[in-house]
Amino acid sequence: MMSLTAENVTKKLMDMTMNRQANTKHYPILMLVLICALFTTILSSQSHAEVKFPCQELHDTAAVECALKLLGENIPAINNQRWRDQSYREYAKQLLRQNKIDEAIGIISAITSPDTQSLTIRAIGFGINDLALNDDDKNSYFDQLHIRAGLISLKDSQEIALTYLAMAEANADLFDRALQDAKKVETLSLRQKSFQEIAEIMAAKAETDSAFIALQNIENNAFKNKAYGVIAHSFIKQGLLSPALQAVSYINDPYIKSEALLNILTKQDMAINVPIKQGAENLND
């Protein structure tokens, strides 16, 4: 069946005009029907052409603002709870990138899953360091995030959120606050993990004293040994031999200390490209 387009209707009219095979009695009626169809098709085409979609004529900042608004309006209509929560989490990240920090934090209350709430708190906390904020503003926003974390209904997720916040505060150069907040984590394993994560962040910033201070707060000896090994690895990756060896000196487990020293020697050999004397590779044959 021929589709009803302006081109097809016009072709039909021309065919009928050139070929008078149609019944003379019905010819005027057919012509009138086809002419009406032509005008209806043309008007319909113009109507579709005039339809304006949201944001399509906007540019740059205005387009982003419009898209964010549409996203915020669309997410509540998602029926699947998990997908809706995940969409809210990503929406919060986008708001944060546009420096809409208060709005991003406000999104947390729209999320129903405790785990997704804690992950959203983590995303916002770490994102704060990417914004041009002074320490007072950072502290203010972290205060708000702590309030949100305290509202999480599941205790485990709440503790994880507090761990994330301590890490994010260290990342945002709020080291003293990070230490104090890590100490407030009640779950022993998470509290010790918080101190290790803070130490890793400070080691990555080459702030050696802060890294060691964080590790000194770890209570469990076995966990502390492993943490010093991790920090030694982090230091040697940056070519910081002295603090790497200092970290190893605090390890009192012979196996973990040996592993850490072997790792340092291997990395150091790779860094300075120590040549192997000819025939040395055959000493153990």
Mean pLDDT to the nearest integer, 261-281: 66
Q: For residues 210 and 170, what is the distance between their CA atoms, to the nearest angstrom?
A: 10
Report whether pLDDT(254) > 60.
yes
Does residue 122 contact residue 164 with C-beta atoms inside 8 Å? yes
Q: What is the pLDDT of residue 283?
A: 42
Q: What is the pLDDT of residue 61?
A: 81
If pLDDT is split at 50, 70 and 90, which confidence band does 120 have? very high
If pLDDT is split at 50, 70 and 90, which confidence band does 9 have? very low
Under DSSP, is residue 273 helix (H, G, I), strand (E, B) or coil? coil
Q: For residues 239 and 142, what is the distance between their CA atoms, to the nearest angstrom?
A: 33
Task: Give the side-chain half-sphere CA count within 13 A for 48.
Answer: 5
Give, in degrees to the nearest 5, the angle at Cα 233 between 228 and 237. 150
pLDDT-wise least confident of 179-193, 210-224, 228-242, 260-274: 260-274
Q: What digits encode the pLDDT tens for the residues 216-232?
A: 999 999 999 999 999 99
pTM for the full predicted model: 0.74
Q: What digits encode the pLDDT tens for the residues 107-119?
A: 999 999 999 999 9
Q: For residues 33 and 46, what is the distance between their CA atoms, to the nearest angstrom?
A: 20
Report whether pLDDT(129) > 60.
yes
